[in-house]
Structures are given as structure tokens and as C-alpha cells.
Amino acid sequence: MSGDVVPRTRGWRAVSGTADSARILTVTGEVALGNADEWPGLGPSEPPGPDPAILNLDLEVATDGPGALAPHWAAIRFAWPLPAAGPSSVRVMWMGVEVAFLPVAED
């Protein structure tokens, strides 16, 4: 995938819930990829944004293995332990471009 092209995405959700007595934020979605050796990843933006009510995540696409033209949608999932006052929104970014802005729903 070319670094200057914003990938198509769909189906984003951000949900706060409890697992094993800990609050967890789970962000899910799908990313359109063009090659069999590509896979998506999400991680916290560095540096984090200035507003603690918004968790900024960076979308990345990595490659591994032999490449072959194979357009497909790849599922993506990110889980983050929440402090007592967790974010109310999530911003997904691709190389500085906002891909999605999601309110955090309660499970």
C-alpha cells in the first residue's frame, strides 16, 4: 500500500466494557488492503493528543511475506485498559489524516 494514499475503512466501533474486573476500551473496524502480505495495526499516537477526553490512535499497514495482488477487507482490533476517567471519543489517524472519529459506547 502506498504511504500517501489514505486506505478505505469501514465499520468502526469504540466500546468500553469490563473484563476480569478491569475496564477495557475496544476499537474495531475493517481496512481495505490490496496485497496478501499486508495486515493492519492500531496503536496509541505518539505523542498523545492534548485532549485527554480523546484517545488518538494511529492506523498502520505492515507487510510480511511474499506479496501477491489480493484485494480484501481485513479486520482490526485494539484493546486498551481504561483509567477511572477514560476517553469519551476515539480518533483514528492515518499519517496525520483523520480516518474516523468515534464516540465511546458503553457495553
| pLDDT digit string, tens, across residues 54-99 | 999 999 999 887 778 889 999 999 999 987 778 999 999 999 999 9
Rounded distance, CA 3 to CA 52, Å? 28
pTM: 0.88
Q: Is the pLDDT of residue 48 over 90?
A: no
Instruction: Write the CA distances from 78 to 15, 16, 41, 69, 75, integer angstroms.
Output: 11, 12, 8, 26, 10
Tell me if 53 is assigned to some domain.
yes
Quote the domain boundaries for residue 84: 9-106
Tell me if 43 is assigned to some domain.
yes
Continuous H helices in the chain: none
**Total number of domains in the chain:** 1
Tell me if 59 is assigned to some domain.
yes
Tell me if 3 is assigned to some domain.
no
Tell me if 34 is assigned to some domain.
yes
pLDDT of residue 65: 77
| pLDDT digit string, tens, across residues 8-27 | 999 999 999 987 778 999 99
Tell me if 24 is assigned to some domain.
yes
